[in-house]
A and B are shown apart, each in its own frame.
Chain A
Amino acid sequence: MIEAITDTGERREMTINMGPQHPSTHGVLRLELVLDGEVIKDVKPHIGYLHRCFEKYAEEMDDYAKVIPYTDRMDYVAAMNQEHGYIIGVERLLELEVPERVEYIRVIMAELQRIASHLLGIGAFGLDLGAFTPFLYLFTEREKILDIFEKASGARLLYNYMAVAGLMRDVHPEFKEEVADFVKTFRPKIKELDDLLSYNKIFIRRTANIGVVPDKVALNYAASGPVLRGSGVKWDLRKNDPYSIYDRFDFEIPVGSGEMGTLGDCWDRYIVRVREMEQSLRIIEQALDGMPDEGDVMAAIPKRIRPKAGDIYVRTESPRGELGYYIVSDKSASPFRVKARAPSFVHLSMLPAISKGALIADMVAIVGSIDIVLGEVDR
Chain B
Amino acid sequence: MKTAEDILVILQNRLPDIELALESGESGQPWIKVPADNIKDVSKILRDDEELRFDTLMCLSGLHYPAEEELGVAYHIHSTSLKHTLALKVRVPAEDPVIPSIEMIWKTADWHEREAYDMVGIRFSDHPDLRRILCPDDWEGFPLRKDYTPQEFYHGVSTGE
Contact = CB atoms under 8 A, between A and B. Distances in A.
B80 interface: yes
**Interface SS of A by simple majority:** mixed
B129 to A, nearest CB: 9
B18 interface: no
Contact of B74 (A93, A310, A311, A322): A311
A313 B4 CA distance: 14
B26 A315 contact: no
Contacts of A101: none
Contacts of B26: 308-310
Contacts of B87: 311, 313
Interface in B112-129: 119
B143 A222 contact: no
A313 B61 CA distance: 10
A326 interface: yes
A339 B27 contact: no
B28 A310 contact: yes
A346 B28 contact: no
Given A47-B134, A219-B80, A311-B28, A349 B61 contact: no
Nearest to A327: B28
Interface in B78-94: 80, 83, 85, 87
Interface stretch (A11-19, A51-59, A134-142, A189-197): A51-59
A79 B110 CA distance: 27
B99 interface: no
Contact of A48 (B25, B57, B61, B135): B135
B59 A339 contact: yes
Contacts of B107: 217, 220-221, 353
Interface residues of A, number: 44
Q: Chain B contact residues (Cβ within 8 angstroms of A): what range?
A: 20 to 34
Given A56-B144, A378-B134, A337 B63 contact: yes
B7 to A, nearest CB: 16
B56 interface: yes
A324 B74 CA distance: 13
A221 B108 contact: yes
Contacts of A55: 119, 144
A47 B28 contact: no
29 contacts: A48-B134, A48-B135, A51-B135, A56-B144, A93-B28, A95-B27, A222-B56, A222-B58, A233-B80, A235-B80, A240-B83, A308-B25, A310-B25, A310-B28, A311-B25, A311-B28, A312-B27, A312-B28, A313-B29, A313-B58, A313-B74, A324-B59, A326-B76, A329-B25, A329-B27, A339-B59, A341-B61, A353-B107, A379-B134
Given A219-B56, A324-B76, A339-B61, 10 more contacts: A53-B143, A222-B56, A241-B85, A308-B27, A311-B74, A312-B29, A322-B58, A324-B59, A326-B59, A329-B27
Interface of B: 24-29, 31, 55-59, 61, 63, 74, 76, 80, 83, 85, 87, 106-108, 110-111, 119, 132-136, 143-144
Q: Pick the 6 closest A-B CB pairs, nearest first.
A: A310-B25, A310-B28, A308-B26, A222-B108, A312-B28, A339-B61
